[in-house]
Amino acid sequence: MSIPPPTGDGQPLRELPDPVPDHPLLRGLRELGRGESSIVLDGGDGERVFKVLSSPADYFYLTADDRPRGPHFPQVFRDHGPIGEASNGYTFRLVELEHLRPISGPAQQVARTLADAYWAACEHWANMGPERGRMALYHLTQSPPASLPPGILQAIAALSDFIEDYPVQPDLLNPRNLMMRADGTLVFSDPVFLA
């Protein structure tokens, strides 16, 4: 099955156009990457990054008291709070979290299996319109591929529970939303967007 390259809202991959906000913690740091609503900067120690967020969905996901936690979710060290306004009208917030890497090796195969199953579930629930992502994720909790490890299945269930309480939708199709730790653990780095 061929997975399309769009983000969860069906649009081509986009990057946040804003410059890095002027903030003492960010001055002189090297930019590692950008997403549709975030900028990631190298913390300088190989262990931490600073993530500038312009989406409330990303902020909820990383800082809410009831956010999903565990080995397949990012470890957040500190919420540094608001640091300005993005061109999209949302507040920029700064979060310090673990340094994750692009997926490769065995994690890449798990990610492919997950994306394929999620896409198939999205197609199954296409008649649900904007709610199809939620239904597809729930569908995965009920009928997961047999090859997915138990820890990933628990993470899917935790993510499904989380999105029920927030105005967000899941996005497991954007290849930048799944990353890994240096030890190869697959991490749901940025799997939500505003509903």
Give dist(CA 6, CA 184) in Å, integer: 25
Are the beta carbons of 61 and 72 closer than 8 angstroms? no
Mean pLDDT of 39-58: 96
Residue 195: is its pLDDT beyond 90? no
Q: Tokens standing for 28?
A: 């002189």
Give dist(CA 102, CA 86) in Å, integer: 26
What pLDDT was estimated at residue 129?
87
Residue 162: is its pLDDT beyond 70? yes
Residue 4: is its pLDDT beyond 80? no
What pLDDT was estimated at residue 3?
37
What pLDDT was estimated at residue 51?
98
Work out the percent of the chain whose per-residue pLDDT is above 90: 81
- Give phi and psi for 158, each to the nearest 5: -65, -40
The reported pTM is 0.88
Residue 2: is its pLDDT beyond 90? no
- In the block, residue with structure tokens 């940025």: 190
Q: Identify the helix (H) or strand (E) that includes residue 180.
A: strand 178-180
Reported as a single tens digit per residue, the pLDDT across 6-36 is 434 444 567 899 999 999 999 999 999 998 8
What pLDDT was estimated at residue 47?
96
Residue 67: is its pLDDT beyond 70? yes
Residue 86: is its pLDDT beyond 70? yes
> Is residue 5 very low, low, confident or very high in pLDDT (cuts 50, 70, 90)?
very low
Where are the domains positioned within the chain? 31-102, 105-194
